[in-house]
Structure 1
């Protein structure tokens, strides 16, 4: 396996360091500016060195849109954390067609949430309801559409600022709704998965919750995520999930 990475932000740097510890590079980093010291920087998939078999997208929705189709069409598998981008039917279709043309696969990392294995298993037997709730301190919603709904600076109690489908959440909150997209893709899909986003002054961090009911029974899963030390807006678990997916693809026995 020869690996390249898209992006050298906080998540990208964490993944690059993890790949170095595992002894697999990366061989190159696709960036708009400069790459971390010691890394080979390129600007496009066409400029990647020969033999790349896996491209890891750590650059957000724009990075996946800019480089994902080209990589897949060239026969390079892609791992992405930008699951919310797939709410855009046009991009989802372009990625699928490119993967088909190149004989490659798009792998969706679990990101900042867990329990997706149980959700996928439940979907195989029939799901009746899936609801995702994302809860953050008011400051965590700064710069998002929540500011048009709530006065974030004066909240004294939890307040819902979005309720709708996971597709609507992913499209309206592209920097905040990758988890809603991950839940949707593992279960009922973007349009049949409910999503609720909450600004909560009592929240100790970013809290993600899944509630699901189906033929299997029901479950409720909740996780409070820590951020990467250098960037409070980047999920530590999201970065870890990208490295975990790479290790899973390399393993002879997988879970």
Structure 2
């Protein structure tokens, strides 16, 4: 299975390492698409058999069967529809971008003519059960994230609290999944995955917290309905190069990519 990666930051780099660690024949990373300013750095970090380009047409000319997007909301908007129309399956890291109705519609329209949109679980667990509960009878979904104040630096949270002075857990956002995903593009991709698996962007309740006692990223999903109740918590360590991102996120991408070529899928 030929794989392409869009973006080569902390997530893209970890994903590439995870795929190359698989047994021979599981997945072949054929190319990486980056912005022009990142070509030299990516080229220096990658083996010669992996092509590096800033040109989307040249990237698609490598004929990847699966493309993993690790380039943020803007990267997904810029390249997602074109990748799908080329017939590639698209595994999306920047799931929060789908909270934009126009982009979601564009991706769905492109997928109708080409490849599939694949949403990995990312840093959270229980999305399989949540998706089943939606069909069995789902009435309420709540998501709560706790991250260290430093993980919220450079985000909309800075307009709510003085993150350098937080001494006790503080709510930096409370509202719908759509509002959370659009306001916190680097921190709330899990929010969007939960919404897409369950009740949607408008009916998923979200609370984001800055917690000075947090040593990683804590994700809590709670759901209730005719099916019963569900509570899933994940205490995730963060990527060394990006405290906003849980370590599980790129490995969840790797799992989603590999499942697309596997004979046995769990």
- TM-score in same-fold range (> 0.5): yes
Kindly report which structure 2 residues correspond to 1:1-255, keeping only aligned pairs within 5 A, or say none. 1-22=1-22, 23=24, 24-32=27-35, 33-34=38-39, 35=42, 36-38=45-47, 39-48=50-59, 49-102=61-114, 104-255=115-266
Of 35-44 and 51-60, more deviation after overlay is shown by: 35-44
Of 184-193 and 28-37, more deviation after overlay is shown by: 28-37
Q: How far 1:155 sits from its partner (Å)? A: 2.0
Of 31-40 and 4-13, more deviation after overlay is shown by: 31-40
Provide the rounded CA distance (Å) in 1 between the counterparts of 2:89 and 2:56.
12
Q: How far 1:219 sits from its partner (Å)? A: 1.5
Contact 1:248 1:254 in 2 (8 A): yes
Provide the rounded CA distance (Å) in 2 between the counterparts of 1:21 and 1:93.
35
Q: 3-state SS of the aligned residue for 2:13?
A: helix
Provide the rounded CA distance (Å) in 2 between the counterparts of 1:127 and 1:170.
21
State the Cα deviation string for residues 44-99 of structure 1 (Å, max 9, x = none): 33112343211111112121111110010111111111110000001000101011
Of 190-199 and 144-153, more deviation after overlay is shown by: 144-153
Provide the rounded CA distance (Å) in 1 between the counterparts of 2:57 and 2:239.
31
Provide the rounded CA distance (Å) in 1 between the counterparts of 2:73 and 2:173.
21
Q: How far 1:187 sits from its partner (Å)? A: 0.2
Provide the rounded CA distance (Å) in 2 between the counterparts of 1:159 and 1:230.
25
| TM value normalised by structure 2 | 0.92
Q: 3-state SS of the aligned residue for 2:264?
A: coil
Provide the rounded CA distance (Å) in 2 between the counterparts of 1:128 and 1:98.
31
Which runs of 5 or more structure 1 residues have no equivalent in the other structure? none
Which runs of 5 or more structure 2 residues have no equivalent in the other structure? none
Contact 2:121 2:252 in 1 (8 A): yes
- Runs of 4+ with >6 A deviation: none
Q: 3-state SS of the aligned residue for 2:207?
A: strand
Q: How far 1:27 sits from its partner (Å)? A: 0.5
Provide the rounded CA distance (Å) in 2 between the counterparts of 1:119 and 1:111.
14
What is the total number of aligned residue pairs between the two structures?
Answer: 254
Provide the rounded CA distance (Å) in 1 between the counterparts of 2:216 and 2:17.
25
Q: CA RMSD in A?
A: 1.3
| TM value normalised by structure 1 | 0.95
Q: How far 1:158 sits from its partner (Å)? A: 1.2
Q: How far 1:174 sits from its partner (Å)? A: 0.8
Provide the rounded CA distance (Å) in 2 between the counterparts of 1:124 and 1:45.
38
Q: How far 1:215 sits from its partner (Å)? A: 0.9
Provide the rounded CA distance (Å) in 2 between the counterparts of 1:99 and 1:183.
21
